[in-house]
């Protein structure tokens, strides 16, 4: 396996049941290694939600999530000290929902169960960006383009999560990813532009995540 990539197989990740019985989570990645929910810098996970209820609070954490499977979820978001709130509906194929971990949110499923993808980053230490990419045939992704061609003093770490099986070619090596496997691309230490080629026989979506330290 190329040392510049790492694959986290979804099927090999352990599933942890929630204490309230409302769902379970597969943690794909947590940093630093050995951290827990009280002291992580960033975390990537996939959750199965099977009942309505409040979101857990994570002080000092910025969060992003998108729906992978299921009809969707209705979120009631408390907006201010006057008790005013708003409601939004999240469904598959929509852009990620970004919010702070301190936000009080009540969720109500539109169906019996859903699967969602979660990225959390500690505010002031790391920033995270999430986007959907569509592949129908062959596309190439630059692995050291700062995710959005923006100038920065630190090189972001990139991740790809395919929503269906897909083939990848990186530096001459072919890699097969199954649904929800997480592909991590290591930081490039040189200025040479490297490309990851994605190959799909049918229209396939991937979620691309870029995580970057806020200080050099």
Q: pLDDT tens for residues 16-38?
A: 988 677 889 999 999 999 999 99
For the whole model, what pTM was predicted? 0.89
Question: In this predicted structure, what is the pLDDT of residue 192?
Answer: 55
Reported as a single tens digit per residue, the pLDDT across 158-189 is 999 999 999 998 888 899 999 999 999 865 55
Question: In this predicted structure, what is the pLDDT of residue 132?
Answer: 92
Residues 6+ apart with CB under 8 A from 130: 64, 66, 96, 119, 207, 208, 209
> What stretches in the chain show pLDDT beneath 50?
148-153, 191
Question: In this predicted structure, what is the pLDDT of residue 180?
Answer: 97
């Amino acid at each position: 396996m190329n040392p510049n990539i790492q694959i986290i197989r979804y099927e090999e990740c352990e599933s942890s049941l929630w204490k309230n019985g409302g769902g379970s989570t597969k943690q794909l990645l947590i940093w630093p290694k050995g951290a827990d929910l009280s002291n992580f810098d960033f975390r990537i996970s996939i959750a199965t939600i099977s009942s309505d209820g409040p979101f857990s609070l994570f002080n000092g954490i910025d969060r992003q999530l998108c729906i992978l499977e299921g009809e969707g979820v209705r979120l009631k978001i408390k907006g201010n000290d006057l008790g005013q709130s708003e409601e939004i509906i999240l469904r598959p194929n929509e852009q990620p929902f970004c919010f702070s971990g301190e936000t009080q949110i009540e969720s109500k499923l539109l169906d019996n169960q859903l699967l969602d993808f979660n990225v959390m980053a500690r505010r002031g230490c790391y920033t995270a960006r999430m986007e959907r990419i569509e592949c129908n045939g062959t596309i190439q992704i630059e692995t050291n383009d700062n995710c959005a061609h923006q100038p920065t003093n630190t090189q972001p770490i990139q991740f790809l999560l395919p929503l269906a099986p897909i083939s990848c070619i990186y530096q001459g090596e072919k890699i097969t990813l199954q649904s929800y496997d997480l592909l991590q691309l290591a930081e490039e230490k040189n200025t040479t532009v490297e490309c990851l080629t994605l190959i799909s026989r049918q229209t396939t979506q991937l979620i691309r995540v870029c995580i970057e330290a806020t200080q050099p």
